[in-house]
Amino acid sequence: MTEMYWLDGAGWPETAKKTLEYPKQPLYKMLDTTADKSGDLPYTVFMGKSRTYAQVREDADRIANFLESKGIKKGSRVAIFLPNVPHYPPVFFGSLKAGAQLVTCNPLYKAGELNYQLNDTDAELVFALDHPIYLPICYEAIKGTKVKTVIVCSIKSFLPKAKAILGGLAGKIPKSPFYEEDKTVFYDDIIDQYEPKSPQAQVDPNDTAILIYTGGTTGTPKGAELTHVNLTSNVLQVDNWTFLEDADPPSGARYGEEVYCGAIPWYHSYGLTVTFLMATWHAGKLVCVPDPRAGNPPMTDLLKVLEQTKSTVLNCVPALYSAIVNHPDVGKFDLSNISICTSGAAPLPPELAKSFEEVTGADLFEGYGLTETSPVTHSNPTNKRQRKFGSIGLPITDTICKIVDLETGTKELAIGEVGEIAIHGPQVMKGYYNKPDETANVMRNIGGKRFFLTGDIGHMDEHGYTFISDRKKDMVNVGGLKAYPREIEDLFFEHPKVAIAAVIGLPRVDDPSNEFVKAFVVLKDGVEATPEEFIEWARDKMAGYKRPKEVEIVESVPLSNVGKVLRRVLKEEELKKRGS
């Protein structure tokens, strides 16, 4: 490829290849290859109990055999409504072996949200957690859909025997208050009753493997179709990019040695590719963390897991890094084993990154991606010499990034000019499921190559480092000038009293076509401040049109399940309060 800005060589890490060969094979071969080579190594780790790659492969084969018996075949759709529990890998790979397309569902969905996703994909079967809240939601959600079978997954069988017995006696193991017998099959019965004889359907690697739902650039839920090749390619791209010069000895991810902490959900593309699939590719331990915010105070359980499992790889979102930094007891936990530490899914304020490194001693590198790109498209070099705080880094191997005009998305802009980020590469999705118009809206042919319009606004410097201003839909129009919430939030993170900041634009009362900036601030524990204090502080920090006209101090801001600040929700709530 010859179109990448980084060809001047100033930023490209010496250890990373600029192009790769990608295996044209089904995604489930990733598990089979590792199990063949390293079957005795531990794979999933949960509550002190582990299962090997060979054991998980056997369970995946049993599930595939069961699914085939239920009429699941190539092109059928199977939904996973599970948090990060040890059932996830065998369900994931077993479904693919049966030829199914996986529909990954947010385990915190309400019934209506899950119902929409099941209906939209014509899913025929759902794997759900045995739980007093989540399983009843699942039963409600399947009404009016094609789903006839719910496979109920209990964590009891994955607990050490003593914990399982004591937990059962104490009533602490989650369990649904009822089971709809005509629709229910228990996961444990499948493992007990079916032989590990997988059909291993002969899928085309360019077929859809997974449907992951995203609001995309319009906010309408859409299923991004990620192919077997998309996901395998992205794993290899990320692996090729990772090399820690500061490690002793310097190395990339070490085969059979890394411990991947599953702190972000695997239904989401970031957790799926960069933690779950990367662990599988490298024969690493995959630590199952169903709820990273659990504990008293929140996040205590995650800190315990990081210490107890000696996790070496932590892929997280800024909200979780902020919570770790501001945890009152963080200094009591040994986090020294963490070596590969990345941030994605939401903008990483530079001051937060510096604070995390001071607290933990780990190195933190920001990357970038979207559900539609499997997800990784950019990363900072994983060494401190070439890392640029505030930048999402360079387009990774075999990825072309262009900055294009906001109006048509076809005119390439000069270096330094602000426009929409467009991506071409082997990780770019096939399209949105059953939404050809939506797909056409975000795809452009530029120079004979197929590019995806990300909806993010930014620019590139002369070395190819990309800087994001904000989401296209979040720009604030202040008297014709564009204020970017992310930039303002980053500045607020420099204030010593700020734990989290969220910024939105609101219409002016005297001129609804014009907007002003409002900031919501969550204070660090034990400090006090007033809105006026922040408004005055901002006078010396940012231009007049960017300065918040209003600041509200709040206990929390709405976050998605992966830690993104939900500005849309903040704005809707604020407009409702104002009677707009």
The pTM (predicted TM-score) of the whole model is 0.84
Q: Read off the tokens for 233.
A: 């390619």
C-alpha 395/C-alpha 341 separation (Å) is 19
In which residue ranges of the chain is pLDDT below 50?
A: 1-2, 4-7, 216-218
- 535-556 burial, b at 16+ Cβ within 10 Å, e below that, comes to eebbeeebeebbbbeebebeee
Specify the 3-state DSSP secondary structure of 451: strand
Name the DSSP letter for residue 158.
G
428: left (phi over 0), alpha (psi -120 to 50) or beta: beta
Domain end residue (candidates: 181, 204, 227)? 204
Residue 424 within any structural domain of the chain: no
C-alpha 210/C-alpha 213 separation (Å) is 10
Q: Cβ distance 546 to 580 under 8 Å?
A: no
Domain end residue (candidates: 163, 184, 204)? 204
Residue 482 within any structural domain of the chain: yes
Residue 83 within any structural domain of the chain: yes
pLDDT digits (tens, 9 = 90+) for 348-374: 888 888 888 888 888 889 999 999 999
pLDDT digits (tens, 9 = 90+) for 106-164: 898 888 889 999 999 999 999 999 999 999 999 999 999 999 999 999 999 888 876 76
Q: How many domains does the chain have?
A: 2
- 21-55 burial, b at 16+ Cβ within 10 Å, e below that, comes to ebeeebbbbbbbbbbeebbebbbbbbeebbbbbbb
Q: Cβ distance 324 to 295 under 8 Å?
A: no
Longest dimension (CA), the chain: 71
The pLDDT value recorded for residue 5 is 43
Residue 557 within any structural domain of the chain: yes
Name the DSSP letter for residue 100.
P
The pLDDT value recorded for residue 541 is 83
Q: Hey, what's the torsion of the CAs at 167, 173, 178, 179, to 10 degrees? A: -110
C-alpha 359/C-alpha 59 separation (Å) is 40
CA angle (88, 431, 348) in 5-degree steps: 65
Residue 182 within any structural domain of the chain: yes
The pLDDT value recorded for residue 513 is 64
Q: What is the mean pLDDT of the chain?
A: 90
Q: Read off the tokens for 134.
A: 């989540």
CATH number at residue 488: 3.30.300.30
Residue 16 within any structural domain of the chain: no
Among 466, 569, 579, 450, CA closest to 520:
569
The pLDDT value recorded for residue 7 is 45
Domain end residue (candidates: 204, 231, 259)? 204
Residue 228 within any structural domain of the chain: no
CA angle (515, 575, 563) in 5-degree steps: 90
Q: Cβ distance 217 to 420 under 8 Å?
A: no
CATH number at residue 180: 3.40.50.12780
| 575 φ/ψ angles, rounded to the nearest 5 degrees | -65, -35
The pLDDT value recorded for residue 490 is 83
Q: Cβ distance 395 to 376 under 8 Å?
A: no
C-alpha 5/C-alpha 336 separation (Å) is 36
Helix (H) or strand (E) holding 69, with range, is helix 53-69
Name the DSSP letter for residue 89.
H
The pLDDT value recorded for residue 521 is 95
Residue 299 within any structural domain of the chain: no
In order of 24, 166, 450, the CA distances from 254 in angstroms are 24, 37, 34
The pLDDT value recorded for residue 166 is 61
The pLDDT value recorded for residue 168 is 64
Inter-axis angle of helices 111-121 and 134-141, nearest 10: 50
In sequence order, what are the residues at sequence separation of 6 or more whose Cβ sits closer than 8 angstroms to the Cβ of residue 480?
A: none
CA angle (40, 42, 45) in 5-degree steps: 160
C-alpha 487/C-alpha 500 separation (Å) is 14
Q: Which domain holds residue 504?
A: 476-577
What is the Rg, in whole angstroms, of the alpha carbon atoms belonging to the chain?
24
